[in-house]
Amino acid sequence: MKNLLGSSIKELEDVALNYGQAAFRGRQIYKWIYNYKNKKKNIDQIEVLPLDFRKKLRDEGFKVSELKLQEKNFANDGTLKLLLATDDNESIECVGIPTEKRLTACLSSQVGCPMDCKFCATGKEGLKRSLKASEILDQILFIENEMNRKVTNIVFMGMGEPLLNIDDMLLSIRSIKDDFQISQRKITVSTVAVPKMINKLSEKSFQILGNCQFTLAISLHASNQKTRETIIPSAKNYDIKKIIEDSKQFVRDTGRRVSFEYLMLSEVNDKLEHANELSNLLKGFQCHVNLIQYNQIDDVEFKRASLKNLQLFQSRLSNNGIAVSLRKSRGLDKNAACGQLRQNARKK
């Protein structure tokens, strides 16, 4: 199968020329693919193309979209969560988070995940495989189609560890930037941090994209190594101080500040002593902390921190000179935590 999604104008012009068509037919395919108003993502639906050309493309195995809708859930706040089936019968999740001005797509980069974070439903199932760039991009098409709006922002915070799928993730970012016309500055790559991969991310980004302007968000979730290892077992291979060192290098290499994600877990990391420890770890460094409310999942011992602790923690960081914001949980009523839809579907 040859997926046209993620192809540049030049590549699609070449496809047209290869099948004896004029180059402008390639540009017509390009315009059709990236127009969110086109609901049906298969070759037969590209009605501006001559019938025989569409037939040839279809017979040769060309496709635009390869994922299939398995389940769709709208939460009361308008958040959309989709479960999509891949060609090899796996399923992945993506989420559309609307506000008045923005539509943020939360994308998966892998089927399952090998990182085994203790608070995450996806981590419980291990890794099946990494997604191809076209499968990552297809999630955007689905969100745009279902929500009838253009996606404006992207976060790689769905299933999987993006830094273990760097090449395809960066190829998808190239298309998000050039074809979906979403600036790199509106893209966030979220990682739980894998040894040596932060440096590799900036290096490969310069190779593939020519620069590195997206936001790197590191799931820190703790103020010291010991606590971090209880939340993220894979953290034992990567000392928290080394993560901060590598993050500082990322800032020097790219000029972009780093975000640190901090999931507030009751009795684990939500005390003022943790806020002070985190402040010491991050002081003098161009970064930002996002405090996140935890979405409870089945079979997990962690509990959501109280709003009071959340607010005290936030004020302490702020008073200590650390840039901090509170990220509200969206779509809580519809299996909002990463991996929950897939987990529920497998239980059925």
Residues with catalytic annotation?
93, 338
Asked if residue 341 binds ligand SF4 (CB under 6 A), the reply is no
Q: Cα–Cα distances in Å, from 191 out to 61, 219, 260?
A: 35, 6, 10
Closer to ligand SF4 by CB, 160 or 331: give it. 160
CA geometry: angle 216, 220, 222, nearest 5 deg: 160
CA 289 to chain centre: 18
User: Looking at 10-18, 32-40, 117-125, 304-312, which segment touches ligand SF4 (CB under 6 A)?
Assistant: 117-125
Q: Cα–Cα distances in Å, from 106 out to 55, 103, 149?
A: 34, 10, 15
- The answer to whether 113 and 122 have CB atoms below 8 angstroms apart is yes
HSE-CB for 312 with a 13 A CA cutoff:
12
Quick one: DSSP state of residue 298? T
| Among 83, 117, 173, 341, contact with ligand SF4 (rule: CB under 6 A) | 117
Asked if residue 94 binds ligand SF4 (CB under 6 A), the reply is no
Asked if residue 106 binds ligand SF4 (CB under 6 A), the reply is no
For the window 289-328, what string marks contact with ligand SF4 as x by the rule CB under 6 A?
Answer: ----------------------------------------
Asked if residue 123 binds ligand SF4 (CB under 6 A), the reply is yes
With 0-12 / 13-18 / 19 or more C-beta atoms within 10 angstroms meaning exposed / middle / buried, residue 36 is middle
Compute the distance between CA of residue 51 and CA of residue 31 in angstroms, rounded to an integer.
18
Closest distance of CB 161 from ligand SF4, Å: 5
Asked if residue 162 binds ligand SF4 (CB under 6 A), the reply is no
Which residues in the 220-239 window bind ligand SF4 by CB under 6 A? Answer: none
Closer to ligand SF4 by CB, 120 or 258: give it. 120
Asked if residue 91 binds ligand SF4 (CB under 6 A), the reply is no
Asked if residue 159 binds ligand SF4 (CB under 6 A), the reply is yes
> Look-up: residue for tokens 């981590």?
123
Compute the distance between CA of residue 222 and CA of residue 152 in angstroms, rounded to an integer.
31
Amino acid at 196: K
Closest distance of CB 156 from ligand SF4, Å: 10
Interacting residue ranges for ligand SF4, rule: CB under 6 A: 113, 115-117, 120, 122-123, 159-161, 192, 338
